[in-house]
């Protein structure tokens, strides 16, 4: 139920122009205008925002207002409100607005089903790029009218050496591909000394060349970037072009690399040397705390890749990396193990000799581990039973994912009963019990999906155990898509 203040704010935003308002009402008026889809009111509010920062996530994401409706018009209005403010004379701006930072990060964590995540990110990114170019084009005219903005500087390096002009920094997450590369590159370079400046927090890039990624990195503010995610289509050679340029970002905490294709079965002296070079470059990132090596053939090479890191990792994702026992044995004996908060071993076959080193690894991480993903690891009941003692020692565990393993209802029930003692456990994603599948037809050698009645009965039984144990806070679900993984920065 909405509060009285919220209801009164709804009456206020129904009129335009808005009356003169006290500053403490701006946040709730912004929320109501966004929820009710009033872009013109939002534009007016942003143009006269009385606080130094406007953070969309804090205002909207926590109330889940971004989930309620398609929000592209409202996002556009927020951006245009900043442009309106910047096109005012400096003295007029200082009287009517205090805004210095617009934070548009985390949109991907909060957008609605009506507006797909990717659409919202691409839309806001394109709208920001156009706004930056628009403000940049009007900058010379403002300078001629006596603006305090310094005369034109070009490029991030020059802008870093010169004083920043008064304006608004837009903190945002950027996605780059062959379609968006040119406009983003031009925007970052032209806007380095502009009053509207993009400050990238997370950079995701794929389907562009290694040299183009380097050009983008050279255009980014070194003090803001904390996450880089790359879909690697260039192999180790291209990766070695990019990695040296990451050392200029002191706040970089997370590096996510997909598809490092190494033929570990036939290593050549050249590929061995490149792996060592990758390790050396990773060692040049002292702030690195999360490393993701998804779908990369690392069999037997994990130690070589991690050996130069200066500080222990707190999040390590090794999904579908064809790990061998030596990899997990190394990890369990390394200084990373007691620091790990998140461990993702999705798609690594436990049957292939990984069970014993995995037991040891879980014991070594038990004091710190919060998030464990063992989905699609080809585990059967006997493997889960063997892992249970180590799992029960993970006293701080919050999230456990076991989807895609061949477990029976009895094994899942046993897991539930034995992990109820873990006080922080909040979410368990279990697989469809193998005894809840329909029998295959005689003429076909595949199953025909789940038996809905058997699955419902198993779910009711699990829910009853939770209710009887007074653990209704603990979510047990077979839906792998209903809950997003915890990102490293929220652990």
Distance CA 77, CA 62 (A): 20
Cβ(418)–Cβ(389) under 8 Å? Answer: no
Q: For residue 490, how far is the Cα from the chain centroid?
A: 10
pLDDT, tens digit only, all 491 positions of the chain: 568 888 888 889 998 888 888 999 999 999 999 988 999 999 999 999 999 999 998 888 766 666 545 578 889 999 999 999 988 877 776 677 789 999 999 876 544 444 444 446 777 888 899 898 888 777 654 443 443 333 333 344 444 444 555 789 999 999 999 999 999 998 998 776 788 999 999 999 998 999 999 999 999 999 999 999 998 778 888 999 999 999 999 999 999 999 877 666 667 888 889 889 999 999 999 999 999 998 888 888 999 999 999 999 999 999 999 999 999 999 999 999 999 999 999 999 998 799 999 999 999 999 999 999 999 999 999 999 999 999 999 999 999 999 999 999 999 999 999 999 999 999 999 999 999 988 764 555 555 688 899 999 999 999 999 999 999 899 999 998 877 777 889 88
Nearest residue to 205 (alpha-carbon basis) of 196, 195, 216: 216
Distance CA 191, CA 194 (A): 5
Distance CA 4, CA 127 (A): 35
155 exposed, middle or buried (CB, 10 Å; 0-12, 13-18, 19+)? middle
Nearest residue to 394 (alpha-carbon basis) of 414, 411, 372: 372
Distance CA 34, CA 306 (A): 46
Cβ(365)–Cβ(396) under 8 Å? Answer: no
Q: Which domains does the chain have, with CATH numbers?
A: 326-490 (3.80.10.10)
Omega of the bond prior to 17 within 30 degrees of 0, cis?
yes
Question: What is the number of residues in the chain?
Answer: 491
Going by DSSP bridges, is the β-strand pair 227-231/254-258 parallel, antiparallel, or unpaired? parallel
Beta strands in 214-327 (DSSP E): 227-231, 254-258, 290-294, 315-317
Distance CA 326, CA 347 (A): 17
Q: For residue 320, how far is the Cα from the chain centroid?
A: 19
Nearest residue to 188 (alpha-carbon basis) of 151, 225, 230, 232: 225
How many CA atoms, within 13 angstroms, populate the side-chain half-sphere of residue 372?
28
Distance CA 25, CA 36 (A): 16
Distance CA 321, CA 37 (A): 46
Cβ(354)–Cβ(325) under 8 Å? Answer: yes
Cβ(319)–Cβ(294) under 8 Å? Answer: yes
């Amino acid at each position: 139920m909405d509060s009285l203040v919220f209801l009164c704010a709804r009456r206020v935003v129904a009129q335009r122009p808005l009356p003169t308002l006290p500053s403490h009402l701006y946040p709730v008026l912004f929320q109501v205008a966004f929820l009710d889809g009033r872009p013109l009111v939002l534009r007016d509010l942003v143009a006269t925002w009385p606080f130094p920062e406007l953070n969309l996530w804090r205002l909207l994401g926590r109330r889940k207002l971004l989930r309620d409706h398609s929000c592209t018009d409202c996002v556009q209005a927020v951006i245009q409100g900043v442009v309106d403010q910047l096109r005012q004379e400096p003295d007029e701006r200082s009287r009517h607005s205090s805004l210095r930072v617009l934070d548009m990060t985390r949109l991907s964590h909060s957008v609605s089903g009506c507006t797909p995540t990717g659409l919202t990110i691409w839309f806001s990114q394109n709208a920001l790029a156009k706004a930056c170019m628009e403000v940049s084009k009007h900058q010379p005219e403002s300078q001629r009218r006596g603006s305090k903005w310094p005369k034109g500087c070009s490029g991030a390096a020059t802008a870093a050496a010169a004083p920043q002009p008064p304006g608004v920094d837009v903190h945002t997450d950027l996605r780059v591909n062959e379609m968006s590369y040119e406009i983003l590159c031009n925007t970052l370079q032209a806007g380095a000394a502009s009053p509207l400046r993009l400050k990238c927090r997370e950079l995701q890039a794929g389907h562009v060349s290694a040299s183009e990624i380097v050009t983008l990195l050279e255009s980014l503010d070194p003090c803001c970037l904390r996450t880089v995610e790359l879909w690697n289509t260039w192999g180790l050679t291209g990766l070695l072009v990019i990695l040296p340029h990451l050392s200029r970002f002191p706040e970089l905490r997370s590096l996510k690399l997909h598809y490092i294709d190494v033929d570990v079965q036939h290593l050549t002296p050249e590929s061995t040397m490149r792996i060592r070079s990758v390790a050396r470059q990773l060692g040049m990132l002292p702030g690195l705390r999360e490393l993701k090596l998804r779908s990369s053939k690392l069999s037997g090479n994990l130690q070589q890749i991690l050996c130069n890191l200066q500080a222990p990792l707190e999040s390590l994702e090794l999904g579908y990396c064809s790990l061998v026992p030596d990899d997990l044995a190394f990890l369990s004996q390394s200084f990373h193990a007691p620091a790990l908060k998140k461990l993702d071993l999705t798609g690594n076959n436990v049957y292939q000799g990984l069970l014993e080193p995995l037991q040891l690894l879980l014991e070594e991480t038990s004091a710190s581990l919060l998030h464990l993903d063992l989905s699609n690891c080809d585990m059967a009941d006997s493997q889960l039973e063997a892992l249970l003692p180590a799992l029960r020692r993970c006293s701080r565990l919050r999230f456990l994912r076991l989807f895609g393993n061949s477990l029976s209802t009895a094994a899942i029930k046993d897991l539930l009963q034995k992990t109820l003692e873990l006080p922080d456990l909040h979410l368990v994603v279990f697989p469809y019990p193998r005894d809840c599948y329909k029998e295959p037809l005689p003429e076909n050698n595949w199953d025909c999906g789940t038996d809905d009645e058997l699955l419902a009965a198993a779910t009711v039984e699990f829910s009853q155990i939770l209710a009887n144990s007074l653990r209704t806070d603990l979510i047990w679900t077979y839906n792998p898509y209903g809950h997003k993984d915890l990102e490293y920065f929220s652990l």
